[in-house]
A = this chain, B = another copy of it.
Amino acid sequence: MAEQRRVYASGDRVGATVRSGTRRRSAERLSVDRIVAVAIDQMRTHGYDAVTMRSIARELGTGPASLYAHVANRAELDQLVVGRVCALWEIPDPDPERWDAQLRECLISLLGILRAHPGVARCTMGMIPVERGMLAVVERLIGLLKAGEVPDQYIAWFVDVSSLFVGSVAAEEDIWRERMADIGEAPSEEETVVEVREVFSELPVAEFPLLSGMAEAMTTGTGDERFEFGVDVLISGLKALSAAR
C-alpha cells in the first residue's frame, strides 16, 4: 500500500495516484478548460452532431454526469466553445487609408477561424457577446470601423449584421459537410455543381425562362467566391450608407 500514496504535482492535483476500488477514477482532475478543449477537438474531427456529453466524457475517461459539476448544461458548453474559438479572432491596428480592405480581411479571417473549427459556427446562433475575451475583439473591430468614419449607430448595427452573416455562412458549410459525411461516399463539390446545373438547365423554359438560362451563373463560384461577394456587398453597402448620411 505504500506505493499507492498520493502524489501531488506543484499547486495542482494532476498525477494523483488512484487507489483501486475507489470512486474517483480519473487520473486527472476535470475542469471547464479540459471539457471545452475536448469538445472543440471532437467537433473538428467528427462534426457538431457527433459531439455529445457522453463522447466528451468518454474521451476524458469518466461518465457524462461528471461534466455537470463544471458546466450547467449542453447549451452553456456550446457557448463556452464559441467564446474560446472567437477569442482567436484578431483585428489589426486600424489604418484609415485602407480600413475597408482591413475589414474585408477580418471577415474573411473570421470565416477561416470557423472553418478551422468545424461545428463551432453551429453554436454561434443567438449568442450575445458578453464574455471578456469576445468583448475585447469587438472593441478592436469598433476601432477599425471608426477609422473609416462610420457613424456610431451604423458601427453598432454592422457588428451584429456582419458577424451574423459570417456565422451563418460557416454554419451552412458545417451542415453541408456533415450531410456529405453522412452519405458516406460524398460527391465532390464539382459533381454537385454539375448536378445542380443540370437541374436548372432542364427546367421548362416556358415556366422558368430566366432561371433556365441562368444555370451557369447560379452554379458558378466556389464557396470562397460566394462568401467574398457577400462581404464585398456588406462593406460597399456600409460605405454607401455612411457617405449618404
Interface residues of A (CB under 8 A from B): 125-126, 128, 130, 135-136, 138-139, 142-143, 146, 152-161, 164-165, 167-169, 171-172, 175-176, 179, 196, 199, 203, 207-211, 214, 217-221, 225-226, 229-230, 232-241
Contacts and interface: CB of A to CB of B under 8 A. Distances in A.
Chain A interface, DSSP helix/strand/loop, else mixed: helix
B229 A157 contact: yes
Contact of A208 (B139, B179, B237): B139
Nearest to A168: B168
Given A157-B226, A220-B156, A171 B208 contact: no
29 contacts: A125-B175, A126-B172, A130-B196, A135-B211, A139-B209, A142-B210, A142-B211, A146-B210, A155-B214, A155-B217, A156-B217, A156-B218, A156-B219, A157-B225, A157-B226, A158-B233, A159-B218, A161-B226, A161-B229, A164-B165, A165-B165, A165-B168, A167-B168, A232-B237, A233-B234, A233-B237, A234-B237, A236-B237, A236-B241
